[in-house]
Structure formats: structure tokens, C-alpha cells
Amino acid sequence: MAAKRITQVTIDWAALAERVPPSQKAMFVAFKTKSDLYLRRMMANPEVPPKIDWEYYKSRIAVKGMVEDFQKQYDALKIPYPADKVTPEIEAQEKQTAKEIADFIKESNLRIANFEAEVKKLRSLIPFEQMTMEDFRDAFPDQALDPINRPTFWPHTPEEQLGYEKDKEQAAH
């Protein structure tokens, strides 16, 4: 893989800053400063090292073989560019996150549809102020008092009923 010089910053710092929580703003600013400093230092250096006029040095330096030795060492110098091992992992995480987001949107749309159906059902009921006990029992059979099938004692709260156990009630919630 050939070395590739970064010519422009591809980070949208403004969009990233919007997502940073207030408690981490100082760390974000320090990170951005460090990144900008690195970019300025990198851009200050040329992309390729300057060409050396070896003939000029050969004609000026009297020691035989010294310039040729330096030239050979200079030409053999190759600065390795680190291999990119992280990008495939990031792309895999991005695909996984995109899948999770799509699943979440799908599940949310189902929940929204269920809630809209429930709201539609509630709006179709007569107003509570105009309901009789029988209307309430027909609309909400699980919440209505049923003295025949499920008799309860006044004030009809779970705590006041026979056999009530606090631990069972909390475990059910």
C-alpha cells in the first residue's frame, strides 16, 4: 500500500461539537486543538523530501566515497507508512450500527402504530365524565370493579385485599 498524504480535514467539527455533552466540552476542545496542531505540523513539511544535488557535494568534498556513501544511504531510506488495520473494523461497526438503527426504526414504527391504534380507541370512547360504571367496565374490563367474579374490599386497592404480599406486588412490576 502506497503512502497517502492527507490533504484536507474530513472531520465536521461543528457537527461533532453538537453531540458532545457539556461535561466533556473541555476534553473535546483539547482533542480538537491537538488534532489541529498535528495537521499544521504535517502540512508545514513537504510531501516528498527535497532533492539533493549530489554532484555539487561531490565537487566540493575532498573525502573520496563519503558523498556516494551518503547518497546510497539517503536513497535506501524508506519511511514506512503504518498499515491501515482499523478501517475495516470501523466499517464493520458502521454496518452493524446501521442495521441496529434500521431495526430500531422498524420496531419504533410498530410501537407508534400500536400507540396510534390505542389513542384511536380511547378517542372513540365516550368521555369519562359521561361514562357510567357499566360503560367503564365494558371499555376497561381489567380495571373495573367486578363484585361477582373478583370481589374486593374498600378502598379497593391491592394493599387492602386479603392475601396481599408486598414482595409479590413489587416483583410483578
7-65 pLDDT tens trace: 666 788 899 999 999 999 999 999 999 999 988 888 888 877 788 899 999 899 888 88
**For residue 103, what pLDDT band results from cuts at 50, 70 and 90?**
very high
On whether both 106 and 149 belong to a single domain, the answer is: no
Q: Does residue 6 or residue 131 have the better pLDDT?
A: 131
On whether both 2 and 42 belong to a single domain, the answer is: yes
Residue 38 forms part of a structural domain: yes
CB 47 within 8 A of CB 5: yes
Residue 60 forms part of a structural domain: yes
CA 139 to chain centre: 43
Q: Is the pLDDT of residue 167 over 70?
A: no
Q: What pLDDT is stored for residue 112 in this prediction?
A: 98
Residue 169 forms part of a structural domain: no
Domain that holds residue 95: 84-124
**For residue 2, what pLDDT band results from cuts at 50, 70 and 90?**
very low
Residue 99 forms part of a structural domain: yes
Residue 14 forms part of a structural domain: yes
Q: Does residue 104 or residue 49 have the better pLDDT?
A: 104
Nine cell digits for residue 119: 389513542
On whether both 95 and 132 belong to a single domain, the answer is: no
What average pLDDT does range 151-163 have in this prediction?
Answer: 83
Compute the chain's Rg from CA coordinates.
37
Q: What is the count of structural domains for the chain?
A: 4
Residue 21 forms part of a structural domain: yes
Residue 89 forms part of a structural domain: yes
d(CA 122, CA 15): 41
Give the closest residue to 58 by CA, choosing from 67, 50, 69, 45: 67
Q: Does the global pTM surpass 0.75?
A: no
Q: What pLDDT is stored for residue 83 in this prediction?
A: 84
Q: What pLDDT is stored for residue 171 in this prediction?
A: 60
Q: Is the pLDDT of residue 81 over 90?
A: no
Mean pLDDT over all residues of the chain?
87
